[in-house]
Amino acid sequence: MQGKTIIITGASAGIGEELAVTLASRGANLVLAARGEEALAQVKRRCEQSGGRAIAVGTDVTDLEACRRLVERAVEAFGGVDILINNAGISMWVRFEEVTDLSLFDRVMRVNYLGSVYCTHYALPHIKARKGLLVAISSLTGKTGVPTRSGYAASKHAMQGFFDSLRIELLGTGVDVLVVSPGFVATDIRARALGPDGQPLLESKRDEDRDTMDVDTCVAWITRAMENREREVVMTARAKVSMFLKLVAPGLVDRIVLRTLREKGS
């Protein structure tokens, strides 16, 4: 990662923040993107204290022009782009029949899926020039449907399909595509998840003390996969088994998912 220029969306907190600081400690040039500019400035300071160079670019990934400006700022500051990490994301936590504001589906899709499409579109020519890497921080819900997260699962399925398709298009160009599928990670994304009225819940609806991966472990998985230029990371053994079972016994997987979520208080 020494000297590589890396754009990270959703860099103001959670996985994005810790990933930025870790990459900075390895000598990367960080281009930090998020809507919260004050929080972003704090992450920039952490990156610089860790030994990396960093710029903060206030960015709403649902805004096409903002995504274009983000990439332009990266090129102006560091001369090009080696890696784009599409990490910006928002979740939801409500049964579909209880939704009162359907616009939440539009919001989740625009942030999680279209934000990745927009940023990738503008960054790709620069990444191709350096035979770089595209990274999509997806979710295990991008592999199988999950109750109460219908819109989130749909956005992550879209993300998975987009980057799988793009990987094939880019064969022979020197550009690799990595899709990362974490499970529950100790961040505040579930506290910020949208409820039935489209407003943030402000607290997680699950027991965060059970079966939750710490952020440092998650980031270690991601950085290792980036260094090895892997195509995919599925972070839990249970998820890997479920992916196989879904092919041979999909109804069984549905029942397992429902039972597991109930046991975890999800």
Give the residue numbers marked as catalytic: 152
The pair of three-digit structure tokens given for residue 203, joined into one six-digit string: 């607290």
Angstrom distance (rounded) from CA 151 to CA 106: 9
Phi, psi angles (nearest 5°) of residue 84: -115, 125
Q: Output b/e per residue, 113-145; b: 16+ Cβ within 10 A.
A: bbbbbbbbebbbebbeebebbbbbbbbbbbbbe
The Cβ of residue 18 has, within 10 Å, a number of other Cβ atoms equal to: 22
Angstrom distance (rounded) from CA 235 to CA 184: 10
| CB contact at 8 A, 41 and 17 | no
DSSP states along 122-159: HHHHHHHHTT-EEEEE--GGGTS--TT-HHHHHHHHHH
Type of residue at 167: R
Q: Is 27 exposed, middle or buried (0-12, 13-18, 19+ CB in 10 A)?
A: middle
Three-state SS at 9: strand
